[in-house]
Amino acid sequence: MPDRYDVLVVGAGPAGLAAAHTAAAHGARVGLLDAQPRPGGQVWRHDVRRQAPRAARDAIEKLHGVDVLANHSVVAVESSALRVEALQDSRSIAYGSLILATGARELLLPFPGWTLPGVTSAGGLQALTKQGWPVAGKRVVVAGSGPLLLAAADTLRKHGANVLGIFEQAQAATVHAFARQLRHWPARAVQAAGLRLRLAGVPYRFGSFVRHAHGEDAVQRVDIESPGGVQTLECDLLAVGYGLVPNTELAQTLGCAMDYLGPHPHVSVDRLLRTSVEGVYAAGEAGGIGGLAVARLEGAMAGHVATGHSVAAHALLPQRDRERRFSVLLSRHFALDARLRSLADNDTMICRCEDVTLSELDGFTDARAAKLATRCGMGACQGRICGTALAELGRFPRNGARPPIFPARLATLAGLTTLPSDDAYRGS
């Protein structure tokens, strides 16, 4: 594999696949990096028991002339290059243009019992199930907000789980108003109808959320707050997710400007997906949560622009803008209930990596001070879970990133050509 590419794409989900294919079609030497062993990202993650969707298979089969660098994690930024770690070694990969298709992660909000074994994110349990985690016969409660809950429940049911119910925090009137708008997006309406048909018999409750999870060595029952009061369900697994948050750590490390329209930033881009850093582009969820259709369109746009074909990118703008309008509709109708931000009590564990409770974070106004005093955010996830939750709770923003972007071997760190000064990351 070469150590320099005309176009280097980070992230092999729908946006990254489209970007790599498009750039390669223009004759560029293209590298496609992803930490997973197979391309597809989270939405098209390989399922050990079921065939991938046709769109996913087609996108992967189109990677002619693309070097797919699977099991490669970006650790740090060097001069016009990325330091990446593979299973056995690490190296520096230089680029002419860089496309960030880093996707998103789930937003988790803390509540008493959320760290019990058997409690996962909705998408996390969906991913584990696809990879062979045994759920057949298990009683599963799915809760949180947004269409991802239906997709997760559908996967679980296909793998034999007994889905006890889907508990959506948005109110019934709001969700029904959203459903009526789907007539303007027929393909999405068909997809939603298919999910509801496959989930026939599974209770779908609105204005409901998990208040408390109970158990000794694992989750055994959950308390659900609903319009009719609190109900308790016995279960084996609980999957909770409150939407998605852009993955911006690499973009921030590169120095890309961010847009802060809420507690979670996304990469600031212009109409043609150019970031504030020359030669760096952002496509898909990194530039704001938009969903699968947006990711594929923006990936193609970025591939065009990165290879000097702006006219072709401009031609895709009307479609992209239409799909972005859908994402705005989604965020408005599934806005989070304020009560979700007050579920955690003083003894609720916030940073599960370092065993830091909510009360231990009282008095801190920024993430750096909290980290230095309590080690909150210094575990394996490097604050991606607790830091994002604390930002949503209004405790303090998660503002900044510092290398290594992901945990890395000492040998990898020793290979860095430059080490950033601490002053460069005072906000992290």
Under the banding of pLDDT at 50, 70 and 90, the label for residue 418 is low
Answer yes or no: is pLDDT of 425 > 50.
no
Q: Give me the pLDDT at residue 383, please.
A: 86
Q: Give me the pLDDT at residue 1, please.
A: 62
- For 396, residues 6+ apart whose C-beta sits below 8 A from its C-beta are 364, 365, 366, 367, 370, 390
Average pLDDT over all residues of the chain: 93
Answer yes or no: is pLDDT of 401 > 80.
no
Is 164 strand, coil or helix? strand
- What's the pLDDT tens digit per position in 7-30? 999 999 999 999 999 999 999 999
List the one residue out of 141, 331, 113 whose CA is nearest residue 243.
331
CB 272 within 8 A of CB 308: no
Q: Give me the pLDDT at residue 88, please.
A: 87
Q: Give me the pLDDT at residue 421, please.
A: 47
Window from 45-49, 242-246, 403-407 with minimum mean pLDDT: 403-407
Q: Which two tokens stand for residue 140?
A: 């599963």
Residues 374-385 as b/e (b if ≥16 CB within 10 A, e otherwise) read: bebbbbebbbbb
Note the Cα 136 to chain centre separation in Å: 26
Q: Is the dihedral of CA 108, 111, 115, 119 positive or negative?
A: negative
- For 405, residues 6+ apart whose C-beta sits below 8 A from its C-beta are 73, 74, 75, 76, 249, 250, 253
H helices present in 146-291, as ranges? 148-158, 172-181, 186-198, 249-254
Token pair 């998408």 in the structure block, residue: 123
Domains in the chain: ranges and CATH: 4-104+245-330 (3.50.50.60), 110-241 (3.50.50.60), 346-425 (no CATH)
Window from 85-89, 132-136, 167-171, 222-226 with minimum mean pLDDT: 85-89
Give the pTM.
Answer: 0.93
Q: Give me the pLDDT at residue 417, please.
A: 57
Under the banding of pLDDT at 50, 70 and 90, the label for residue 407 is confident
Q: Specify the DSSP element, H or E, that contains 124.
A: helix 122-130
CB 239 within 8 A of CB 142: yes
Q: Specify the DSSP element, H or E, that contains 296.
A: helix 292-306
